[in-house]
Amino acid sequence: MDETARSTTSSENDRGPCNPRHPLHRFIALMLMCFLCFGSYFCYDTPGALANYFKKDSHLNTSQFAWLYSIYSWPNVVLCFIGGYLIDSIGGESLQVAANNYVVLWFKGKELNMVFGLQLSFARFGSAVNFWVMEPVYKWVGQYYHGYKQLGVALFLASLTCLGSLICGIILGWMDYYSEKLLGRQEQRANEEPFKLRDILKFKSVFWLVTVICVAYYLAIFPFIALGKLFFERKFDYVPQDANTVNSMVYLLSAILSPFCGILIDKTGRNITWVIVSIIATIGAHLILAFTFFNPYIGVISLGFSYSLLAAGLWPIVALIVQENQLGTAYGMTCDETSNLLSNEEEAREPGDRSTTETDSSQADAAQVQSDRIRSRYLAQILPNSIVSDRP
C-alpha cells in the first residue's frame, strides 16, 4: 500500500509543472481564471461608455435606451442563481459564478483571500479599461464608417475581448479535466451527495448574514459612485473633469489594492475582523465626505481601501461555511447576483421620456445633466412609486 502511494507521488512529481499541484501549474490556472471574466466585464459596461452614441446612431430616446440596457442587464440577476445551481447539479456554467467555483476548486484555505482579491482586481480593471478606450475606439471607427455601422463595428471590436476570454475558458476547462483525472476528483464527486434545490433551505444562518452584508455594503458603494460626480461638483465646486477623477478613485484603488488586501488577510486570517474593519472604515469615509470639507481624496481613498478589504475578506467566507457541492448556488445567491443587480443600475433606469427635457438639456452643462439623470434613476429605483423628473 505504501509502495503504491509512493509510486503515485513519484509519478506526480515526475510530471513537473504539468502536475496540478505544482506552483507553476496553479499560477497559470490563476491567470486564466482572472482573464476568464475580463472580456465579460469589458463588454458589460459598453452601453454605459457609449450611451450618447447608442441613442444618436440608433435613434433612441432615453427611455428606449434604458429599456435596452435593462433587457440585457436584469436577466443576469436570475442567470447567476440558475448558473450556480447548474454548476452544482449538472455542470452548466454562468461565467462569474463558474469563475468563483473554479477558484475554490483550485485554491484552499488562506489562499482564497489573495486569489479572490486578484480576481476582483482584474474584473474592475476590465470595467475601467472599457470606459477609457471605447470612446476613442468609436471615434477611430468613425474615420471609415458612420451612423449605426460605426456603432456596430465599435461593438464588434469590443466583443473581441470575449474571444480572448473564451480561449482562456477552453484552456482552463482542459486543465480542469486533466487535473480531475490525475487527482481523482471524479471519484470524490461520485461519493458526494448530489445537490438539490431544496438544500438552499438548509444553508446556515451565517450564510444569509453574509448575503445581507454583501447587499447592504454594495448599496453603500455603487449608488455613491453613481452620484459622486454631481456630489463633488456641487459640494467642492469641482469642474466635471476633476469630479470624474476623484470619483473614479474607488474603482481604481480596488483594482490596485485588492490583491494586497487578500495577501494581508492570508497572512493574518480573521476574515470577519477585517470585514468589520472595512465596514467601519466605510462609515467613517461617508461621514467625512458628508459632514466635513476636508480634501475629498481623504474620504475617497478610505472608501477605496475599505471596499477592497471587504471584497477580499467577505467572498472567501462563503467557501468556508457552505459545502463544496453547494458553492456554485451559494455564490450565485450572494456576491455575483448582488453585483449584477446593483452595478448596472447607473444606466438601467430612466423615468420619463427625453422629449420632456430636450430644451433644458440643450441649454445646460452636459456633465450636470448626466449627473442629474443618474440621480433621478436611483431615486426612482429606491422609491418606485414616486415620479421623479430628470431635473430638480
Q: Where residue 52 sits, what CATH number does that domain have?
A: 1.20.1250.20
Q: Is residue 382 part of a domain?
A: no
Contacts of 208 (CB under 8 A, 6+ apart): none
pTM of the predicted model as reported, rounded to 2 decimal places: 0.57
> In which region does residue 65 sit, left (phi positive, over 0), alpha (psi from -120 to 50) or beta (all else)?
alpha
314, 249, 281: which is closest to 117 by C-alpha? Answer: 314
Give the whole-angstrom CA distance, residue 160 versus residue 12.
Answer: 37
Q: Is residue 3 part of a domain?
A: no
Q: Is residue 376 part of a domain?
A: no
Q: Is residue 236 part of a domain?
A: yes
How many residues comprise the chain? 392
Give the whole-angstrom CA distance, residue 128 versus residue 118.
Answer: 15
Give the whole-angstrom CA distance, residue 241 versus residue 246.
Answer: 9
Mean pLDDT, to the nearest integer, of 151-171?
89
Q: Which region among 57-66, 221-230, 346-355 has the lowest average model confidence (pLDDT)?
A: 346-355
104, 180, 85, 116: which is closest to 93 by C-alpha? Answer: 85
**Among 51-60, 179-188, 348-357, the range of highest mean pLDDT:** 51-60
Q: Is residue 356 part of a domain?
A: no
- How does residue 144 score in pLDDT terms, banded at 50, 70 and 90? very high
- How does residue 84 score in pLDDT terms, banded at 50, 70 and 90? low
Give the whole-angstrom CA distance, residue 216 versus residue 168.
Answer: 33
Residue 127 pLDDT exceeds 90 = no
- pLDDT at position 282, please? 95
Q: What residue type is assigned to position 185 of the chain?
A: R
60, 44, 41: which is closest to 52 by C-alpha? Answer: 60
Residue 366 pLDDT exceeds 80 = no
Q: Is residue 358 part of a domain?
A: no
Residue 336 pLDDT exceeds 60 = no
Task: Give 30-47 pLDDT, tens digit per residue.
Answer: 788 778 778 877 887 677
- pLDDT at position 11, please? 46
Q: How many CB atoms lie within 10 A of CB 285?
A: 23
Domain count, the chain: 1
Domain of residue 276 covers: 8-348
Structure-model confidence comparison of residues 315 and 136, the more confident one: 136
Q: Is residue 388 part of a domain?
A: no
Q: Is residue 96 part of a domain?
A: yes
